Amino acid sequence: VRLAILGELSLQPKQTVWDIGAGTGSVSIEIARLCPTSQVFAIEKTSMGSSLITQNSQRFQVDNLTSLNGKAPDVLRDLPNCDRVFIGGSGGNIVEILDTCSQKLNPAGIVVMSFATIEYQIQAIDWLSQNSWQYKLLQLQISRSTPIGHLTRMTPLNPVTIITALLPENR
């Protein structure tokens, strides 16, 4: 899933990237490692998560990642404008986060979102449609093998839907 997200972001050198709902920072750290000339901001609402992001940044020796503890969209207003946004968690504020991203995203900007629930996915699609953004959906379903006696079956994990959205040109 992480590789698909990174691919959808179409990262370039010297970009400003936001990772909203960064969790432990796995996506942020991968972006920082892939694009050492970019500035990455990992936004996480839990202090434990923010602390883990800082620890993981040090462990993987990335110095172009800033961990911010706070709730989106509030913490986003003080950040520099961005070129790419990954929304891995919204805390139920997907509409407000997209409103802020719309204001702070540079031309040719891309927003990539991942969803495990249908309701937040629908809210995002409704917002994108109402604001004339182009978007596409990619759903990933991964299964793992499980032994059953001397046989093996595949046990599916929950699907993840990735939405990639492009900033409207006439904004």
- Residue pLDDT tens, the chain, 171 long: 899 999 999 999 999 999 999 999 999 999 999 999 999 999 999 999 999 999 999 999 999 999 999 999 999 999 999 999 999 988 889 999 999 999 999 999 999 999 999 999 999 999 999 999 999 999 999 999 999 999 999 999 999 999 999 988 765
Q: Determine contact, residues 31/19, Cβ cutoff 8 Å.
A: yes
Which residue carries 């969790």 as its tokens? 23
Looking at residue 144, the DSSP 8-state letter turns out to be E
Report how far residue 26's alpha carbon sits from residue 56's, in angstroms, rounded to the nearest whole number.
Answer: 8
Q: What are phi and psi of 78, to 5 degrees?
A: -95, 0
Output the pTM of the full model: 0.92
CA distances to 47, 68, 101, 102 from 135, rounded to whole Å, are 32, 28, 15, 14
Structure-token pair, residue 21: 């709902």
CA distances to 101, 131, 161, 166 from 169, rounded to whole Å, are 15, 12, 25, 9
Cis peptide before 80 (omega within 30 of 0): no
Burial class from Cβ neighbours inside 10 Å (0-12, 13-18, 19+) for residue 77 reads exposed
Report how far residue 9's alpha carbon sits from residue 7's, in angstroms, rounded to the nearest whole number.
Answer: 5
Checking phi first, is residue 132 left (phi over 0); if not, alpha (psi -120 to 50) or beta? left
